[in-house]
């Protein structure tokens, strides 16, 4: 086992925040409780073969009923902030319908308890659980979904905005567009390839609309968070370099450019259709955020696709890199995070607001039942390496304000079901029993040392 990378906490500014995250569909369970409406993820998990182990999200950590346990874990960990998401379908089972008081009361109890524990609630308004009724009308391919999201933001802001004042609007629009609509490995499971591109614009528009609503309601901090990756060509060859450029455009620039510069990159140069932009859209999308959220897990090595492929690139293993429980798909290269953050600073300059690392973490094989403390040295090494990488970016002049571990709890890992465990806390998904892993205690100690 390689030694745990050293972390120079001295480079982090005073007041730097330490956080951990979860998402509603992955931890809450209680699909039928209080008439939670049906989302695209309910449809996805009910599709035979869609989820790797055939599992559903029930009961999982059962956080809808065990929210107090989660707050106590966050308090014991010493978090500055706890990132969680608000289920659209638990609050508003049908788009446009009256909100469900029971759902709003749940998030009120959670946020009030966090505040009482000295932890800032940092809520995500949309973490992939689109109401199924909206998907039936076109989902994120349809501009109307952005308008319905604006309404949902208003409902939540009015009911909860006095207690929750820090917000992520949309989580990882790239994952929804590319995996959900382009290749179908995530909900809603469509396989439209480049026909999925309108979902990019409609999600970014939804962000702009929601940000405006939340600001008007008195929010202290609002921003979007996307999954970003450092793209590396597989070789110095022209074909691989071009393929990497296309992938970087699709995964990174297509989402960051309009938010940070007010315009999309030149899609026509890559043979792609224009976005369905209407007058005023880009001004909304590019309205300055209080932060820019970056979720980072791994770099991506890209090669030119074989002749005849419907897409011009292929993701290939990263040479010499260790991997997480996902295998070659998730290489471990902490220095790639430093390089990514510095590249954002260089590309966007003073248009880049303070950066928040909204998710960073790793899954490794672990037992379903914990008979004692899980000695997850691989996870500790991953987290230490990436926290050190953030520190190097800070030392290089990147204004990073917060680091967030994904995840506080082992949870339902989307299409991988319960086969992947990201948590600082082990969860027995048959009983809900929570057992802090060694990484939990390591992160708590790091937070304590950072404050000393």
Measured between alpha carbons, how far is 129 from 48 in angstroms, rounded to an integer? Answer: 19
Measured between alpha carbons, how far is 441 from 443 in angstroms, rounded to an integer? Answer: 5
Q: Is 172 a catalytic residue?
A: yes
Q: CA 127 → CA 226, 380, 387, 435, distances in Å?
A: 11, 26, 24, 25
E strands within 310-418?
313-316, 322-324, 327-332, 355-359, 400-406
Q: Which residue has the tokens 């966007």?
A: 348
Q: CA 96 → CA 15, 145, 202, 430, 439, distances in Å?
A: 40, 11, 18, 35, 43
Q: Cα–Cα–Cα angle for 126, 62, 326, nearest 5°?
A: 65
- Active-site position among 135, 221, 359, 402: 359
Q: Which residue has the tokens 């027995």?
A: 428
Measured between alpha carbons, how far is 337 from 393 in angstroms, rounded to an integer? Answer: 8
* 60 Rama sector, left if φ>0, alpha if ψ -120 to 50, beta otherwise: left
Report residue 243: phi and psi, to 5°.
-60, -40
β-sheet bridge partners, residue 247: none
Torsion angle of alpha carbons 183, 37, 22, 409, nearest 10°? -100
Measured between alpha carbons, how far is 229 from 296 in angstroms, rounded to an integer? Answer: 6
Could you tell me if 36 and 103 are in contact, meaning their C-beta atoms sit under 8 angstroms apart?
A: yes
DSSP code string of 28-81: ---SSGGGPPPBHHHHHHTSTTSSTT---SSSTT-TTT-HHHHHHHHHHHT-SE
- Active-site position among 28, 135, 172, 221: 172
Could you tell me if 293 and 223 are in contact, meaning their C-beta atoms sit under 8 angstroms apart?
A: yes
Picking from 290, 300, 287, the residue whose alpha carbon sits closest to that of residue 402 is 290
β-sheet bridge partners, residue 226: 294
Q: Which residues are catalytic?
A: 172, 359
């Amino acid at each position: 086992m390689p030694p745990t990378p050293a972390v120079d906490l001295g480079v982090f500014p005073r007041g730097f925040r330490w956080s951990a995250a979860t998402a509603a569909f992955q931890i809450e369970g209680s699909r039928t409780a209080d008439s939670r409406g049906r989302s695209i993820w309910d449809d996805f998990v009910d599709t035979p073969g869609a989820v790797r182990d055939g599992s559903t999200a029930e009961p999982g950590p059962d956080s809808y009923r065990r929210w107090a346990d989660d707050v106590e874990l966050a308090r014991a960990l010493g978090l500055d902030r706890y990132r969680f998401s608000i289920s659209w379908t638990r609050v508003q089972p049908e788009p446009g319908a009256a909100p469900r008081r029971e759902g709003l009361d749940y998030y009120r109890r959670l946020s009030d308890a966090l505040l009482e524990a000295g932890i800032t609630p940092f809520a995500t308004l949309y973490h992939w659980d689109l109401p199924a009724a909206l998907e039936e009308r076109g989902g994120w391919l349809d501009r109307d979904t952005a308008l319905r999201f604006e309404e949902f933001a208003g409902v939540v802001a009015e009911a909860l905005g006095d207690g929750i004042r820090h917000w992520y609007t949309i989580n990882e629009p790239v994952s929804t567009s590319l995996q959900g609509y382009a290749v179908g490995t995530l909900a809603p499971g469509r396989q439209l390839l480049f026909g999925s591109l309108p979902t990019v614009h409609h999600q970014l528009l939804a962000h702009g609309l929601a940000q405006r609503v939340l600001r008007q309601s008195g929010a202290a901090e609002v921003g979007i968070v996307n999954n970003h990756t450092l793209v590396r060509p597989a070789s110095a060859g022209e074909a691989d370099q071009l393929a990497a450029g296309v992938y970087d455009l699709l995964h990174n620039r297509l989402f960051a450019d309009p938010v940070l510069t007010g315009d999309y990159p030149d899609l026509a140069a890559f043979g792609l259709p224009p976005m369905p932009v209407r007058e005023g859209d880009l001004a909304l999308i590019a309205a300055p955020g209080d932060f820019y959220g970056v979720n980072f897990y791994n770099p991506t090595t890209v090669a030119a696709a074989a002749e005849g492929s419907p897409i011009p690139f292929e993701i290939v293993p990263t040479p010499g890199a260790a991997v997480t429980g996902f295998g070659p798909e998730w290489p471990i290269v902490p220095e790639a995070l430093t390089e990514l953050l510095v590249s954002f600073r260089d590309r966007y300059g003073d248009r880049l607001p303070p950066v928040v690392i909204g998710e960073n973490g790793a899954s490794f094989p672990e037992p379903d039942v914990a008979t004692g403390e899980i000695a997850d040295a691989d996870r500790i090494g991953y987290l230490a390496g990436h926290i050190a990488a953030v520190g190097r970016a800070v030392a290089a002049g990147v204004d990073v304000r917060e680091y967030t571990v994904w995840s506080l709890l082992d949870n339902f890992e989307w299409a991988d079901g319960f086969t992947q465990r990201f948590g600082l806390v082990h969860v027995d998904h048959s009983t809900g029993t929570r057992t802090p892993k060694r990484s939990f205690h390591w992160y708590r100690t790091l937070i304590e040392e950072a404050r000393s």
